[in-house]
Amino acid sequence: MAKEQEDLGEVRNTRRGLLQGAGLTAALALLGGAMTPAQAAEAGPFPAHKRWKMVFVNHVTTNPFFVPTQYGIQDAAALLGFDYQWTGSANADVGEMVNAVNAAIAGKADAIAVPIVDPKAFDQPIRRALDAGIPVFAYNADAPRGSTNSRLAYIGQDLYLSGYQMGERIASLVDSGLVALFIATPGQLNIQPRLDGALDAIKKSGKKIDAQTIATGPTVNEELSKIKSFYLGHQDLKGMFAVDAGSTQGVAEVMKESNLPAKGVHGGGFDLLPRTIELIHDGFLDFTIDQQPYVQGFYTVLEAFMFLTSGGLVGPANINTGLKFVTKGSVEPYLNTQTRYEGKSTTPLIVPRTGPIQG
């Protein structure tokens, strides 16, 4: 009798246990369904992983130059199962950027990417992130040579070299006279090296070129006004060149407004803002240099992915996102294709291409 009761008790317990277990499983299944679908992320051949969170800190969050970068981030994130956050400062305030990095560390981000626009300010925050086990990548701007900054890799253009090549191009276009070099925020590490490179190349050329540096400010409207005023005050200049996207667009606009190519004035700059490309096509700007912002976002996410997937064993490596001169002769395809990769449209596309590739 006692044993029967015991058995009964056991059966009851088991039943209770089973019921509880079933209930729990059901709850978990519901929960699992409620979680974001990429919980069982299908990143191609890679096994499922939790959705990693990558924080992209930026120094000019609302600047149109980085729109393709954000598309690159979005596409890579969708491909590989990341969530991303685009934050930082809208007007190059380093304090705000440092705050954003610290917030990412406190929020236990899985990876952080930040342009190192100040020679010292990011050393400690990046060190702290690495100490907390969060990989940090620099994109678009890197720490200066000799710096003790410990970022894992840099994804972007070789800034000094690009500036140097621009300087060589300037020396080939202008023989002598006043040449204006516009820079949005002097001293900032994503553009200052270009200026330094350009000035060095111009000096090396030996030509009698008077190169003046003018600061234009971090926002596009300011930049245009400053460039206009400078031109109006120095109408005998022989060339206007810029080292950042916004100032380049400004230079192009001023060249068009005052019809400067007809007066023998040359102009050029960096990056492929839509207006800049138009004006190159219309013949008002001699060249622009593409640093390929889309891949600055895309490759950075890939690097983070490799690091996280392999537990830090594979990668990261510096990636030079390239330096390409775009002139009237080669601008056509840029103008006609509206793709995400140049930031001109949101629709993803496969762009057809035929014929030989010009090296």
Partner 1 sequence: MSAGAKPAARPRRWPNALGRSSEIRILVVALILSAYFEMANHDFLLTGASLENLSQFIAPVAIIACGEIMLMIGGEIDLSAGMVFAFAPFIMHFANEAGLPAGLALLVGVLAAGLVGLINGAVTVYLRIPSFVTTLGTLFFVNGVTLTISRGTPVSPPGDANFAAFMGSWGYSEIIWAVAIAGVMHILLRHMRWGLHTIAAGANPLGASEAGIQIRHLKLGNFVIAALLAGFTGILEGFRITSIDPLAGGNQMMFLAVAAAVIGGTPLAGGSGTIIGGLIGAAVLGILNDGFTLIGINAFTFNMILGAAILAAMIFNIHAVRLVRKGAR
Among 17, 21, 23, 95, binds partner 1 (CB under 8 A): 95
Helix (H), strand (E) at residue 333: helix 332-336
Determine how many CB atoms are found less than 10 A away from the CB of residue 62.
Answer: 13
Out of 50, 53, 275, 328, point to the residue binding partner 1 (CB under 8 A): 53
User: Does position 98 bind partner 1 by CB under 8 A?
Assistant: yes
Among 75, 78, 123, 147, binds partner 1 (CB under 8 A): 123
Give the number of other CB atoms < 10 A from CB of residue 306.
Answer: 17
Instruction: For residue 341, give the DSSP letter.
Output: G
Question: What does the alpha-carbon distance between residue 65 and residue 291 come to, in Å, rounded to a whole number?
Answer: 10
Q: Which phi-psi region, left, alpha or beta, contains residue 253 (left: φ > 0; alpha: ψ -120 to 50)?
A: alpha
Number of residues this chain uses to bind partner 1 (CB under 8 A): 37
Task: Check if the beta carbon of residue 136 is closer than 8 Å to that of residue 170.
Answer: no
Show contacts with partner 1 in window 68-87 (CB under 8 A). Answer: 83, 85-87
Shortest Cβ distance from residue 61 to partner 1 (Å)?
4
Smallest distance, partner 1 to C-beta of residue 260, A: 26
Contact flags string 260-279 toward partner 1, x per CB under 8 A: --------------------
Of residues 129-188, which lie at the interface with partner 1 (CB under 8 A)? 132, 185-187
Q: Which amino acid type is present at position 115? A: P
Residue 116 in the binding site for partner 1 (CB under 8 A): no
The mark string for 205-244 relative to partner 1 (x by CB under 8 A, - otherwise) is ----------x--x--------------------------
Residue from 41, 100, 171, 224 in contact with partner 1 (CB under 8 A): 100
Least separation in angstroms between residue 60's CB and partner 1 is 10
Stretch that binds partner 1, among 106-114, 264-272, 304-312, 331-339 (CB under 8 A): 106-114
Site residues (CB under 8 A) for partner 1, limited to 311-340: none
- The secondary structure element, H or E, covering residue 153 is strand 153-156
Q: In the chain, how many H helices and how many E strands?
A: 11, 12
Minimum Å gap between C-beta 188 and partner 1 is 8
Which residues lie across from 209 on neighbouring strands? 177
In the complex with partner 1, the residue whose CB is nearer, 88 or 297, is: 88
Record the tokens describing residue 207, joined without a space: 């030509």
Q: How long, in residues, is the chain?
A: 359
DSSP for 112-152, written as a single string: EE----STTTTHHHHHHHHHTT--EEEESS-PPTT-----S
Placement of tokens 């380049």 in the chain: 248
The 10 Å CB-count burial string (b at 16+, else e) for 146-167 is eeebebbbbbbbbbbebbbbbb
Cβ pair 104, 81 in contact under 8 A: no
Stretch binding partner 1 (CB under 8 A), from 104-112, 230-238, 275-283, 317-325: 104-112
Q: How far is the CB of 183 from partner 1 (least distance, A)?
A: 9
**Among residues 99, 205, 219, 337, the one that binds partner 1 under rule CB under 8 A:** 99
Binding status of residue 195 toward partner 1 by CB under 8 A: no
| Helix (H/G/I), strand (E/B), else coil: 11 | helix
Stretch that binds partner 1, among 119-127, 278-286, 293-301, 317-325 (CB under 8 A): 119-127
Choose between 96 and 278: whose C-beta lies nearer to partner 1.
96
Asked if residues 306 and 315 have their Cβ atoms less than 8 Å apart, the reply is yes
Residues contributing to the site for partner 1 (CB under 8 A): 53, 58, 61-62, 83, 85-88, 90-96, 98-100, 102-103, 105-108, 118-121, 123-124, 132, 185-187, 215, 218
